[in-house]
Amino acid sequence: MIRFLLNDQEIVLSDFKAQATVLDWLRMERGLCGTKEGCASGDCGACTVVVAEPAGEGLVYRSINSCITFLGALHGQQLIAVEHLADGESLHPVQQAMVDHHGSQCGFCTPGFVMSLFALGKQPPPSGEKEHRDAIHEHLGGNLCRCTGYRPIIDAALASTAIRAPDRFDRKSCTTRATLDRIRSEDGNRVNGGNLADPSKFLIPRDVTELSRACLEYPDARLLGGGTDLALEATQELKTLDRIILLDRVTELLQVTESGGWLTVGAAVSLSRCLELFTTRYPTVADLLLRFGSRQVRNPGTLGGNIANASPIADLPPVLLALGARITLQCGDNQRSLLLDDFFLDYRVTALEQGEFVRSVSLPLSAPGQFFRVYKISKRIDDDISAVCLAVNLMFEGEGQDAVIRRAGIGVGGMAAIPMRAPACEAAMVGNPFDESTAAAAADAIAEEFHPIDDVRASAAYRMTLARNLFRRCLLEFRGSEFPLQVTDVH
Amino acid sequence: MSIDRTRSVGQPLIHDSARGHVAGTAVYIDDMTPVEGQLHACVGGSAITRGRVKSMNLEPLRAAPGVVDVITADDVPGQLDIGPVFPGDPLLVAGEIEYRGQPLFAVLATSHDLARRAVALAKIEYEEMVPMLDLARAIDDAYYVRPPHRLQRGDAGAVLKNASRRFQGELRVGSQEHFYLEGQVSLAIPEEEGGMTVYTSSQNPTEAQKLVAEVLGISMHKINVITRRMGGGFGGKETHGSPWSCIAAVFARRNDCAVSCRLSRRDDMVMTGKRHNFLNHYDVCHNGEGRLEAIRYRLAGQCGNSPDLSDAIVDRAMFHCDNAYYIPDVLVDGLRCKTHTVSATAFRGFGGPQGMIAIEAIMDEIAFRVGRDPLDVRRTNLYNTTDRNVTPYHQRIDAFSVPRILDQLEAESDYRVRREAIRAFNRRSPALKKGIALTPVKFGISFTVLHLNQAGALVHVYTDGSIHLNHGGTEMGQGLMTKIRQVVAEEFQVNPDRIVVSAAQTDKVPNTSATAASSGTDINGMAALNAARTIRRRIVSFLAEKYGVDESEIVFLDDRVHVGDRTLEFGQAAKESWLGRVSLSATGFYCTPRIHYDRAKASGRPFFYYANGAAVSEVVIDTLTGEFRLLRVDILHDVGRSINPAIDIGQIEGGFIQGFGWLTCEELKWDRDGRLLTDGPATYKIPAISDTPPVFNTRLLADADNSEETIFRSKAVGEPPLMLAISAWCAIRDAVAAVGDYGFFPELHAPATPEEILRAVDGVRGRSS
């Protein structure tokens, strides 16, 4: 059984398919057809809805793609769809702004944009015009519009999300919070007290004890992080997912700790949260995360999911490999920690054993003498998958002209069947100053070491040229330039 | 025409569905409350590219959960071929399979999901044949869906032969997926006595009506097709919206229940046509200042497996390979090549962009060769209205706003200053290079198929003064309903809120043309105006007689009718007319005057007038990765006297970004076996919000007019702005040229993806080292 709020109405569902999506439920079960299906793969944002959940003293509002969100994941949340925004006859300010600025043409993507704008309006106010524009891009990058060219939507966003006038949802937030707290305190589809006879197909463990028990009991169950990839098996490949274990209520998997120069992030920590974590610690990774999927993907998507999924083109593994991250796996009560390099075995094959799950990832914090960069190259800036992702982590010894690379970690994505380190390339750099010849040697080593994939996103030859040239960019950045070195830095 | 006293026309009214859009209450077909017993259809496509079905076992489908019915070509009661102009498009394949994914059978089930799942269970054995997949080979083999066509003026061959400055070039121009956010969808509901109501997301309800009637083997009057709105069309729902109506109708008839046929995004991308990709070859000569002397073109469009609209599309490419430039001697061969890929179809611009980009590439190359600013070379070659004024199809240009647009845009955009600043930046910037280009657009307005240039409308005035408006045009987001409402409001001098625009519906206004060719407002607006005018005249004549005043003393103004010194509320005037037994309902009709084209002679006046505009784009590229960004765009566009400037600007900006996508990030890829690899938004990338330039200035040309008597002297705006984006593609090449210090003319094709840009950069590097 799951319980959640649909706007103000408490919904109790005991009989639902594990793979039922929020979009289908809204449209077919509730007749709420304002939320649209544009792609059913989380790539267009037409189905964007907002979920509110308890955070701190209040609520946090997150936009998600309802087409790839399983219904069970709503347990203990408030679901807000486009029909819920207007207050009687008066439109919500974000809706009114879209009308006033001619932000809709065919109107099919509009409800999704409205919901993303609504979520944006619930974030802390921007500190200035540039920050405001950046936030608009960040929140709307996952909403495709084929008609307007976006300019009027940007204007609507500028006009309606600069100030934070309380709306209906703010006025009711105390009641909403209380209801959600009550729901969460009651049992949902818990795996409680060792009783696993629960016939539910959608399990919501609350701590690692419950989780590890569930994983052992149901080794065939699919682990659900954000579901932004898993859901595609249901909506695109038409597979049947019989049993799902939701990870994002497992307390330990949501923890973030910092000690001894290492940052440890729970596997179910969302990519949006990672973005915040990295903003001060590794700004280059935060920049990468801004281009990771879309806001609607980063909100539910998890760090652990991006790793355990073992996609050759995942964005974070190259970063973590280059940094020398470690991964902690758990099976039953047993934990083991291994270097991330040893986790990826083959195309979509990992070191995870049956009944085992990813508990956390640890990475070293930035240190003096470290030069770290990560580059993602894709066809489109927003919400695209990389052709090549290259992370370069250099530890220097000595100062200025005499600085020599003491340790190098090079992580690459899109260049092989799995995300990989490039040991020959690292070896070519270590012991040398970072100059033209080292950059060239690194590029040559990469070329020697990899036989990149040739697919729909990029040819093997292009990938190879990119990988080589990115060392050149890295060198230019290392040396510093009065000129911008990336197209996104030109203003 | 009363253009001086406007209160509606010229106002930036919001889209008539805007509130519904933002509130989620605007109803699209899949949002309609299901009819009792409604079932869902899904189409099964071929797993091979070319060949025949040896055996097809659909029994596992029939046994699948929820499945109610399964059909193949044998089950289509009437005509199987639904080709819109020429045959070649079977609803379901009966003979040869001609592309991968071509519909072979269809399943009806209790839900969309169950129907999709059932499709996967078909057991089909094929006999494969070798497909034609390569455009260049189809050209060599003269493998066509329709015969070639030629335009000719003067003797280009002779001029080229004796030319001193001559070059040849080849340009690949990519395809484009429409990616309307709402996929193809139709809902067929059986009516009594064998009738059928069909709701469809279609730009062409009349064609859906005709084809549904044909596949069912019944008369058109039994079929009523209704389209309230589409979630985007862009040409993709002109002919390729109809098959799904036909499938739904066949099932609905057989099972006597309502049937919805909605394509998943993947099916939509695989089974429906796209923009024609082209391979353009040109042979050019010019004088020392860069003035064209002659061009010989071969424009080859990849049409896919069937003719569809390709004859007219390749014609339009040929009609636009002059763009805004006079070519003294010209010869254009247009080829309609056949490949075993899904039939290419209409897409905003309808071939025009693929022709136009060729001459813009030529302008840039000439400028490079004679060492002049490309803008100066473009100016040197512009048409005028006196002596250099005849197109390759012998239409005389008698109004031409491009020179004025270029002058104003050059000044307003600081083109020269920025060009210098860019050169300075490029001299020193190590990785990034910038580029700038200013290109014009001249786009011919009218369907080039004469009979399509007609439209009808139906206006009712009710006794309370409210007005119901219907016309043959469909709403796909372009604001057509809003504009035509303004037109009728203008005629009656009433508040547009009085007027409700209803769905396009074939039993209200019959025999309509597709809403296409940018013609929606031009022809339907005129038809609506004529209908409204008829009613107004009747009211005037009645009131004049009733109150004994001269007709000239009756004035419609501000929701009132002034009759001599009396003033009636508009509703009162309507009611009095009704009491006086005056008909307050009228149809209106319009057909575009002054157009004709003799295709056999390739000569005539196919276009009523031309829409003009120009854009300056500034881009930055990364010479290490090929990544690019649009930094600034300035557009000046001539819409004549705008009916609704907000909607027109929306069309211009949206068209520009769509064109920018076509020329940059949007790349369709097929594998060697003819399988579409880019079959969803995860791999096919249309522009997203960060692709909109941070500086985006769009202006309408002031004091503009239309020398032809169009609706309130406005100009069509749907398609022309798409081609403004050619400026961005030219700017990318300008940036690439900086890599070789402008000493080499870069070879660049379209789309200029990062990979293509880096290839161009490396090409220049290779030549300059």
pLDDT band at A189 (very low <50, low <70, confident <90, very high): low
3-state secondary structure chain A: CEEEEECCEEEEECCCCCCCEHHHHHHHHCCCCCCCCCCCCCCCCCCEEEEEEEECCEEEEEEEEHHHCEHHHHCCCEEECHHHCCECCECCHHHHHHHHCCCCCCCCCHHHHHHHHHHHHCCCCCCCHHHHHHHHHHHHCCCCCCCCCCHHHHHHHHHHCCCCCCCHHHHCHHHHHHHHHHHHHCCCCCCCCCCCCCCCCEECCCCHHHHHHHHHHCCCCEEECCCCCHHHHHHCCCCCCCCEEECCCCHHHHCEEEECCEEEEECCCEHHHHHHHHHHHCHHHHHHHHCCCCHHHHCCCEHHHHHHCCCCCCCHHHHHHHHCCEEEEEECCEEEEEEHHHCEEECCEECCCCCEEEEEEEEECCCCCEEEEEEEECCCCCCCCCCEEEEEEEEEECCHHHCEEEEEEEEEECCCCCCEECHHHHHHHCCCCCCHHHHHHHHHHHHHHCCCCCCCCCCHHHHHHHHHHHHHHHHHHHHCCCCCCCHHHCC
Question: Is A114 part of the contact surface with chain B (CB cutoff 8 Å)?
Answer: yes
Look at residue A400 in the predicted model and tell me its pLDDT: 80
Tell me the chain B residues in contact with residue A154 when contact means C-beta distances shorter than 8 Å: 689, 692
**Average pLDDT of B608-632?**
98
% of chain B surpassing 90 pLDDT: 99
Provide the β-strand partners of residue A300.
Answer: none
Q: Which of A115, A136, A147, A232 to mutate to test binding with chain B, by most B CBs within 10 Å of its CB?
A: A147
**Average pLDDT of A28-40?**
98
* Inter-helix orientation angle A129-140/A110-121, to 10°: 130
Q: Is the ipTM of this complex over 0.85?
A: yes
Question: Is A35 part of the contact surface with chain B (CB cutoff 8 Å)?
Answer: yes
**Taking all residues of chain A, what is their mean pLDDT, rounded to a whole number?**
95
| Residue B170 falls in the annotated catalytic set | no
Is residue B419 pLDDT above 80, yes or no?
yes
Look at residue A164 in the predicted model and tell me its pLDDT: 80
Tell me the chain B residues in contact with residue A487 when contact means C-beta distances shorter than 8 Å: 432, 620-622, 627-629
**Average pLDDT of A454-482?**
97
Is residue B763 pLDDT above 90, yes or no?
yes
pLDDT band at A491 (very low <50, low <70, confident <90, very high): confident
Left if phi > 0, otherwise alpha if psi is -120 to 50, otherwise beta: which for B738?
A: alpha
Q: Are B683 and A457 within 8 A, CB to CB? A: yes
Q: Are B753 and A98 within 8 A, CB to CB? A: no
Please report which helix (H) or strand (E) contains residue B130, including its range.
none
% of chain A surpassing 70 pLDDT: 97
Question: Is A115 part of the contact surface with chain B (CB cutoff 8 Å)?
Answer: no
Distance, in Å, from the CA atom of B305 to the CA atom of B274, rounded to the nearest integer, reads 12
**Chain segment A381-440, per-residue pLDDT in tens:** 999 999 999 999 999 999 888 899 999 999 999 999 999 999 999 999 999 999 999 999
Q: Are B21 and A35 within 8 A, CB to CB? A: no
**Average pLDDT of B411-429?**
98
Residue B167: CB atoms within 10 A of its CB come to 16
Question: Is B757 part of the contact surface with chain A (CB cutoff 8 Å)?
Answer: no
Of B620, B669, B688, the CB nearest to A380: B688
**Average pLDDT of A254-264?**
97
Q: Helix, strand, or coil here: B62?
A: helix
B719, B747, B755, B756: which one is catalytic?
A: B719
pLDDT band at A191 (very low <50, low <70, confident <90, very high): low
Is residue A195 pLDDT above 80, yes or no?
no
**Chain segment B113-126, per-residue pLDDT in tens:** 999 999 999 999 99
How many residue contacts between A and B have a Cβ separation below 8 Å? 269
Left if phi > 0, otherwise alpha if psi is -120 to 50, otherwise beta: which for B593?
A: beta
pLDDT band at B2 (very low <50, low <70, confident <90, very high): very low
The minimum CA-CA distance between A349 and chain B, rounded to whole Å, is 22
Tell me the chain B residues in contact with residue A110 when contact means C-beta distances shorter than 8 Å: 21-22
Question: Is A476 part of the contact surface with chain B (CB cutoff 8 Å)?
Answer: yes
Is residue A1 pLDDT above 90, yes or no?
no
Tell me the chain B residues in contact with residue A83 when contact means C-beta distances shorter than 8 Å: 23-25
Question: Is A91 part of the contact surface with chain B (CB cutoff 8 Å)?
Answer: yes
Q: Are B628 and A81 within 8 A, CB to CB? A: no
Question: Is A147 part of the contact surface with chain B (CB cutoff 8 Å)?
Answer: yes
Q: Are B117 and A238 within 8 A, CB to CB? A: yes
Q: Are A380 and B120 within 8 A, CB to CB? A: no
Question: Is B675 part of the contact surface with chain A (CB cutoff 8 Å)?
Answer: no
Q: Are B265 and A41 within 8 A, CB to CB? A: yes
Tell me the chain A residues in contact with residue B265 when contact means C-beta distances shorter than 8 Å: 38-41
Distance, in Å, from the CA atom of A253 to the CA atom of A250, rounded to the nearest integer, reads 5
The minimum CA-CA distance between B434 and chain A, rounded to whole Å, is 10
The minimum CA-CA distance between B566 and chain A, rounded to whole Å, is 38
Distance, in Å, from the CA atom of A491 to the CA atom of A273, rounded to the nearest integer, reads 27
**pTM score:** 0.98
Of B626, B688, B694, the CB nearest to A141: B688
pLDDT band at B1 (very low <50, low <70, confident <90, very high): very low
Q: Are A104 and B22 within 8 A, CB to CB? A: yes
Backbone angles phi, psi at A259, to 5 degrees: -160, 145
Look at residue A163 in the predicted model and tell me its pLDDT: 80
Of A35, A377, A383, the CB nearest to B627: A377
Distance, in Å, from the CA atom of B689 to the CA atom of A367, rounded to the nearest integer, reads 36
**Chain segment B191-245, per-residue pLDDT in tens:** 999 999 999 999 999 999 999 999 999 999 999 999 999 999 999 999 999 999 9
Question: Is B657 part of the contact surface with chain A (CB cutoff 8 Å)?
Answer: yes
Q: Are A151 and B653 within 8 A, CB to CB? A: yes
Peptide bond into A423 cis (omega under 30): no
The minimum CA-CA distance between B246 and chain A, rounded to whole Å, is 23
Question: Is B15 part of the contact surface with chain A (CB cutoff 8 Å)?
Answer: yes
Please name the amino acid found at residue B156: A
Q: Which residue do the tokens 């999506």 mark? A: A21
Question: Is B678 part of the contact surface with chain A (CB cutoff 8 Å)?
Answer: yes
Pairing of strands B628-638, B695-700: parallel
Distance, in Å, from the CA atom of B371 to the CA atom of B710, rounded to the nearest integer, reads 42
Question: Is B477 part of the contact surface with chain A (CB cutoff 8 Å)?
Answer: yes
Sort A364 into a burial class: Cβ within 10 Å, 0-12 / 13-18 / 19+: middle
Show which of residues 164-223 on chain A sit within 8 Å of chain B, judged by CB atoms: none
Q: Which two tokens stand for residue B375?
A: 């803008």
**Average pLDDT of B359-378?**
98
